[in-house]
Amino acid sequence: MAAPRWVYPFDSGAKSRDLLGGKGSGLANMYTLDLPVPPGFTIATPAWALQHELGGEIPDDLRAEIDAALSTLECESYR
């Protein structure tokens, strides 16, 4: 079984409100419609529940996905 995915770039195709929350879902939809949305990503709403269960600790796999998404975002910003 694959590990859960926690981070979704706006261009990932994910739009589910349950997965991304209201703001994340809205940003993904606006990106899809070619509205002027800067590059970015959303951390999935289940990640908050997991972090809460762990007493505020961010799991290593979530931290790794956030770091990778930030690195990609930095590269996109310097084009």
Q: 45 pLDDT exceeds 70?
A: yes
Give yes or no for residue 37 having a pLDDT over 70: yes
Mean of pLDDT values over 31-50: 92
Fold of 7-77: Dna Ligase; domain 1 (3.30.1490)
| Global confidence as pTM | 0.85
Region 33-54: mean pLDDT is 92
> What does the H/E/C string look like for 32-77?
HCCCCCCCCEEECHHHHHHHHHCCCCCCHHHHHHHHHHHHHHHHHH
pLDDT at 3: 63
The mean pLDDT of 2-12, rounded to a whole number, is 84
3-state secondary structure of 9: strand
Report the pLDDT value the prediction gives residue 48, as an integer from 0 to 100.
Answer: 87
- pLDDT (0 to 100) of residue 19: 93
